[in-house]
Amino acid sequence: TLFLMSLRYVRYFQYSKKLRSSGLQKMKPELRLFVGTIGRLLGIHKTVAVWLSSVVESPMTIGFLKPIILIPIATVNHLSIQQVETILLHELAHIRRNDYLLNLFITLAGILFFFNPFSRLLIHSIKKERENCCDDLVMQFSYDSTTYASALLSLERARKQHYELAIAAIGNSNQLLLER
């Protein structure tokens, strides 16, 4: 079982590497500027790339040393500029908190302690709180909570797949979005 779980996460890791190079298009200049400006304001010293992707179905952040935010093309077409900004701000919060690296450690813990129900509860709790912290950061900026909530609802409607090693803006479960 341990071997099969490890093999599954190796496949997710390889897929996340593929996402960095396939189906990418440039984001609007004003949104790239927004990411750079807000990133500096949040104290992110790394250069954060932001791309539109025809491959992903949910906004996500990939990478620790060279973080990339991927936004689905279909999502951008159905959201207002303010809604896209809230989603980008959420993803920047993940970068600021180094959640991609944390997710790798959580994944490793999940593989090593797959047999322990308490470790699964702890991992679920960590993932839930990670998303809540990023939501709290979005709300600290002067965005209307209904704008952010409607953006999250729109994302949930468009979502079809889960990506284990990427930090998705909507989390890993339908219940998590409802609670947020």
pLDDT digit string (tens) for the chain, length 180 residues: 677 777 887 888 788 888 888 889 999 999 999 999 999 999 999 999 999 998 888 899 998 889 999 999 877 888 899 999 999 999 999 999 999 888 889 988 888 888 889 999 999 999 999 999 999 999 999 888 999 999 988 888 777 444 444 555 555 555 555 565
Please give the pLDDT value at position 55: 87
Please give the pLDDT value at position 118: 94
**What do you get for the CA distance between the two ends of the chain, in Å?**
33
Instruction: Tell me the C-alpha distance between 147 and 176, whole Å.
Output: 18
Of 143, 167, 173, 179, nearest to 12 by C-alpha is 167
Instruction: Tell me the C-alpha distance between 13 and 33, whole Å.
Output: 29
For residue 109, how far is the Cα from the chain centroid? Answer: 20
* Cβ 50 vs Cβ 32: under 8 Å: yes
Distances, alpha carbon 122 to alpha carbons 38, 103, 104, 110, 128, in Å: 31, 13, 15, 10, 10
**Which residues, 6 or more positions from 60, have their beta carbon under 8 angstroms from its beta carbon?**
19, 69, 70, 91, 163, 166, 167, 168, 169
Which pair of tokens denotes residue 172?
């890993």
Across the chain, where does the E strand assignment appear? 24-26, 49-53, 60-62, 68-72, 167-168
* Cβ 62 vs Cβ 24: under 8 Å: no
Please give the pLDDT value at position 170: 53
Please give the pLDDT value at position 162: 43
Please give the pLDDT value at position 61: 92
Backbone Cα Rg of the chain: 16
pLDDT digits (tens, 9 = 90+) for 1-54: 677 777 887 888 788 888 888 889 999 999 999 999 999 999 999 999 999 998
Of 5, 6, 19, 7, nearest to 163 by C-alpha is 19
- The pTM for the full model equals 0.81
